[in-house]
Amino acid sequence: MKTLFKITVLMLITSFQVYAQTETETETEILYSKSYETNQSTTALLEFRGSSVEIYKSPDDKFHIEYIIEFINYPNRKKKEARERVNIESDLVNNQITLVDKSKFSMYRFYQSETITGTLDLRNESEIKSYLYKSEKQVVNEINKAKKPVSLYAKYIQSANRYSESEKKEMIEKSNNRKRKKYVKRFTIKVPSHLDLTINSKASTIRIQEKIENQITLRADGGTVYLNEINNIRNIIKIKDATLIVNSINGGEVILDNSKRTIIGELKNVKLNSEFSQLEIGLINKNVEITDFTSKYLIHNFSKDFEALDMNTEYSEVNLFLPRNGGYELTTFGNYTKHFVENKLVEVSAEKTNGNTKMLDLNSKENDGKLSAIKVNTANGIIRISKDVINFGE
C-alpha cells in the first residue's frame, strides 16, 4: 500500500511536468499605442536599440505606433518586471514625429549552453568551393526564405559545424518541442506614403514588409534589416556590421561597411558603396554604380536593357555570371588583377602598380546591335566570370 502510494505520487508529479512541457500559453498585451495626424511636410525620426520593428503602409494619413509584448509561457509573477522595462517616448514637435525606444536592453533571458557554444563556434565556417548560377526567381525565393523568422538557437545550431545535418535537425526539433518561458516585444508602425522617414537603429531587427515609396534614411548598426521594395531616388541606406536582405532597391544610395551577409534581389538607379562586405545580387538593372574595397561580390543576372554597370574596385573579389539576355561588352581596366573566365586563368598584360590599362574585353556573340556595357575598374582584384558555375580552383 505504501509503495503503491509513492508510485502514484511520482506519476502525478511526472505527469504535471510532461503536461507543462507540451502546453504553450501565449498572452499578448498592447503596452503603447499612439497616432499622430500628418500633412505633406511631416517627417519622422525613429530611434531603436535592441528593438524589433515592423513597418507598414498606413491605411490613412495618420502615423500609427503600437508596441506589443507577447508572453509565452512566462510566469505571472515576472510579467510586471518585463512590462516595467519598457520605456517608449514619442512626440510631434515642429511637424516632426519622434519615437525613441528607451527600453532596457532586455531580450529574453538566454542560458542555453549549446546556443552560447554555437555563438562562440561560429568561426568554424565551412569554406565555399564554388558558386552556382541562380535565376532571378531563385534569388527571390532565397530572400523570402531568409526573411522567415528563425529562433536564435536554430540559427546557431545551423551554423555550428561540429554537428551533422541529422544531429542539427534532431536538436532543433527537440528544442522546438521544449517549453520556453520568454517574452517578445515588437513595434508595429504604420506610415503614410508622403512622410519622410529617418531610422537610426542599433542591434535591432527592422522589417519593412511592403513596397514603399517614402524617402527613407536608414542607419543600421548591427542587427538585421529586411526590406521589400523601396523606391525613392533620395533614399540613403547605411548598413554597418549588419545583415541586409532586400527584394528590390530602386534609387538612392546604399553604403555597406562590414556586412557579412547582404542579399539584394534587384538593383536599379543605385549608387552602392561597400567595404569589407559580402554581397549577392540577383539582378542588375539600369544605372547601377558600385565602388568597393575588399568586398566579395556575386552577381547572377542582368536585365535585358541594363545599359551599363560601372564598378570601381580595389582588392575586391568580383564573381559574375554573364548576361543571358541581350548583347553585352565586358571590359576590365586597371592593374594587377587576376582574371578567371570559365574557371580558367586568363593572362592579361597589366602593370603591377598605378597602371590603368585595358586588361580584358569580352563580347557577346549574339549581337543585336545594342550592347550593354559592364565596365570594371580594378586594382589588385580577382575577377571570375562564368556562364553557369564558378569554381575556386586557384
* Residues forming the site for other proteins (CB under 8 A): 2, 5-6, 9-10, 13, 17, 50, 75, 78, 105-107, 109-111, 113, 115-117, 119-120, 122-123, 152, 181, 203, 222, 241, 258, 260, 276, 293-294, 296, 315, 317, 336-338, 345, 347, 352, 380, 382, 394
Give me the least distance between CB of 309 and other proteins, in Å please: 22
- CB 235, CB 255: distance < 8 Å: no
Under 8 Å between Cβ of 310 and 326: no
**Cell numbers representing residue 136 in the block:** 532571378
Three-class DSSP category at 218: strand
Q: Which is nearer to other proteins, 213 or 314 (CB)?
A: 314
Amino acid identity of residue 19, one-letter, is Y
* Paired residues of 250 in beta bridges: 231, 268
CA dihedral (146, 254, 138, 258) positive or negative: negative
Residues 229 and 283: beta-carbon distance below 8 Å:
no
> Based on the number of CB atoms within 10 Å of its own CB, is 176 exposed (0-12), middle (13-18) or buried (19 or more)?
exposed
For the CA atoms of 256, 238, 243, 384, the dihedral, rounded to the nearest 10 degrees, stands at -20
CB of 241 to other proteins, least distance (A): 7
Lookup: cell for 135: 535565376
Nearer to other proteins, 113 or 166 (CB): 113
C-beta closer to other proteins: residue 138 or 294: 294
For the bound state, the minimum distance from the C-beta of residue 279 to other proteins, rounded and expressed in Å, comes to: 14
Are the C-beta atoms of 313 and 379 separated by less than 8 Å? Answer: yes
CB of 10 to other proteins, least distance (A): 8
Minimum Å gap between C-beta 197 and other proteins is: 24
Cβ distance to other proteins smaller for residue 159 or 231: 159
C-beta of 181: minimal distance to other proteins in Å?
7
Shorter beta-carbon distance to other proteins: residue 175 or 380: 380
Residue among 141 and 258 whose Cβ is closer to other proteins? 258
Of 240 and 286, the one with the shorter C-beta distance to other proteins is 240
Q: Which is nearer to other proteins, 36 or 297 (CB)?
A: 297
Of 48, 33, 52, the closest CA to residue 197 belongs to 48
Determine the residue type at 324: R
Q: With contact defined as beta carbons under 8 Å apart, do 379 and 315 qualify?
A: yes
Only one residue has cell 552602392, namely 272
Distance in Å, CB of 55 to other proteins, minimum? 21
> Which CB, 2 or 365, lies closer to other proteins?
2
**Taking the complex as a whole, how short is the minimal distance between the CB of residue 137 and other proteins, in angstroms?**
30
Please, which residue, 40 or 113, has the CB nearer to other proteins?
113
Pairing between β-strand 62-72 and β-strand 182-191 as defined by DSSP bridges: antiparallel
**In this structure, which amino acid lies at residue 326?**
G
How is residue 91 written as a grid cell? 512626440
CB of 8 to other proteins, least distance (A): 9
d(CA 133, CA 283): 12
Q: How far is the CB of 282 from other proteins (least distance, A)?
A: 24
